[in-house]
Chain A
Amino acid sequence: MIEFAEVSKRYPNGQEALRNVTFQLADGEMAFLTGHSGAGKSTLLKLICLMERATAGQVIINGKNLNRTSRRKIPAVRRDIGMIFQDHRLLFDRSVFDNVALPLMIAGYPHREIGRRVRAALDKVGLLSKEKHSPIMLSGGEQQRVGIARAVVNKPPLLLADEPTGNLDPELSAEIMRLFEQFNQVGVSLMIASHDLSLIAQMHYRTLVMKGGRLVGDQNEPGEEQQEADHES
């Protein structure tokens, strides 16, 4: 699903955010990405969704080599990736329903299909009753769940989450993580960047540790259903 081969990223200001990073994430695998802030977690995720380009090495997502993806092809790559952000990135001038429907509208789904899928996604995150609300009326945890519904609504094979629980209390964080596990159980690959080490420790999944732009640890702590997938990687 994700393949990094000796990837480096140097920003125009000379900062080396990633140095020689190599790893693979198998189809249907779930992994955490951890490290101090500034260790390169966000840069790594940005390379996957083409918000940044690698200065060296290969990034291959879902069989597509991103080095060779033209600007015009970027939307197609992003439609296969669900992204979840710490600050949710919701549109506050639209209802919860319209926020979640956005990826489907963009991809040109038929109207009836959109209604069905959006409600299924909202039901999944337990917010079906709030579809007509404005996101601004929701709590932080609920907003994050709207963001998750939006990320999964078009059933992408890969989910990326950047500090999804950064602003949430432990109980809500655990709830979000349980949602991620459920998606993983139906075959979605997940990569979750987080510095919440205690939460990661509870979860028993593969953990990639970054430090100063390098991948310094790759601990396999697979959960029961993950053993097979990890075996491949």
Chain B
Amino acid sequence: MNPDNVTGASLSRGASVTDRLKMLARLHKIEARRGLFEILSNPLSNIMTVLVIAIALALPAGLQIMLKNAQSLSQGWDGASRISLYLKTDLPEKRINQLAEEIKQQDGVASVEVITQQQALDDFIDGSGFADAISQLDSNPLPPVLVIQPAASHATPQASELMLAHFEKIKEVDVAQLDLDWVRKLYALLQLAEKAASALALALALAVLLIVGNTIRLSVQNRRDEIEVVKLVGATDAFIRRPFLYTGFWYGFLAGVVCWLLLNASLLWLREPVANLAGLYQSEFQLSGLDWQQSLQLIALSCALGLLGSWLSVGRHIRQIEPR
């Protein structure tokens, strides 16, 4: 008997696994294209949705970029955590240099600068304009100083403080000082900002899920008749879900791209004034944006949110639609 005449061929029995996979891939291609066309075919309302998602993503992403820049800026100010060792005034110069060498050998020390009593006095005369007053003194009241620059790995407030405690114990050291306070404040501020940014990112990610979910819910309701028909001809839930998942994915993708454009446009807009400002502080600082890896991460995250949002929404809503 001709196999085509056999009734009850409800499934493509006889189709090989590769054929089935090919068909599945083809179906995915068709659905992916249809999902995109559906968004593009109703530009006005869908562009609004994409923009809302893009802005919701751009806010935390922009904040992250700002934080990253602030951190790189504060790293440029590691010098601030320099340790000054004021030595006793009666040390011979040879001993001072020897001490500097010893300290240089220690862990976490990047460099040691020696400021002799004479240099300190010269600097003071140059900088203060008290030359006349100083010349009245019979001896140099300024101590020799060792200025220690911690290595980058020891530049955090905690590490610097440990180091300070260590240097304080050297018997030639009169006073050890670390100008740390404002560095500590800056770090605390950055940490707070980071936490706040994470909370904001979480809240807005949730908002994106809800926006996509709601859009997909409306889309499911608009296609109620179609869903009933495909259910009647034997479609599984997975089959019905697929185009909506693609729609959600495309929303995420488009929003990710728009978000990326928004961020780069604002960075471009800010670059000039930031460079001007940095120039006033004699700094070479430049705003850094997203490198390609972060750009891809942003778009991938956006796609994932779109997909997840539609996934959470579509399953529940197509279940409610049964043919009548």
Contact = CB atoms under 8 A, between A and B. Distances in A.
Interface residues of A, number: 34
Given A107-B12, A108-B24, A109-B12, A83 B7 contact: no
B19 A110 contact: yes
A154 B13 CA distance: 11
Contacts of B188: none
Contacts of B45: none
A103 B7 CA distance: 15
A110 B229 contact: no
B19 A75 contact: no
A103 B19 CA distance: 17
B7 A51 contact: no
A187 B228 CA distance: 28
A80 B23 contact: no
A113 B323 contact: no
Given A78-B234, A91-B229, A102-B230, A108 B5 contact: no
B15 interface: yes
B26 A107 contact: no
Contacts of A187: 5, 7
A186 B233 CA distance: 21
Interface in A25-79: 49, 51, 62, 72, 75-79
A161 interface: no
Contacts of B239: 106
B6 interface: yes
A51 B12 contact: no
A104 B228 CA distance: 17
A111 B26 contact: yes
B4 interface: yes
Contact of B7 (A72, A75, A157): A157
Nearest to A104: B12
A75 B27 contact: no
A108 B234 contact: no
Nearest to B228: A89
Contacts of A105: 27
Contacts, number: 91
Given A108-B20, A108-B24, A110-B19, A150 B8 contact: no
Interface in B1-56: 4-12, 15, 19-20, 22-24, 26-27
A96 B22 CA distance: 24
A111 B324 CA distance: 31
Given A91-B226, A91-B229, A107 B234 contact: yes
Given A51-B322, A106-B239, A79 B10 contact: yes
Contact of A113 (B12, B27, B228): B12
A188 interface: yes
A155 interface: yes
A166 interface: no
Pick the most buried of B6, B231, B232: most chain A CB atoms within 10 A of its CB: B232
A156 B234 CA distance: 12
A12 B22 CA distance: 45
B98 interface: no
B230 A155 contact: no
Given A108-B12, A108-B24, A102 B7 contact: no
A83 B239 CA distance: 19
B8 A155 contact: yes
B229 A75 contact: no
Given A89-B225, A108-B23, 20 more contacts: A51-B324, A72-B236, A76-B10, A77-B234, A78-B233, A79-B10, A89-B229, A90-B229, A91-B226, A103-B234, A106-B233, A107-B234, A108-B11, A108-B15, A108-B24, A108-B27, A109-B12, A110-B23, A157-B8, A187-B5
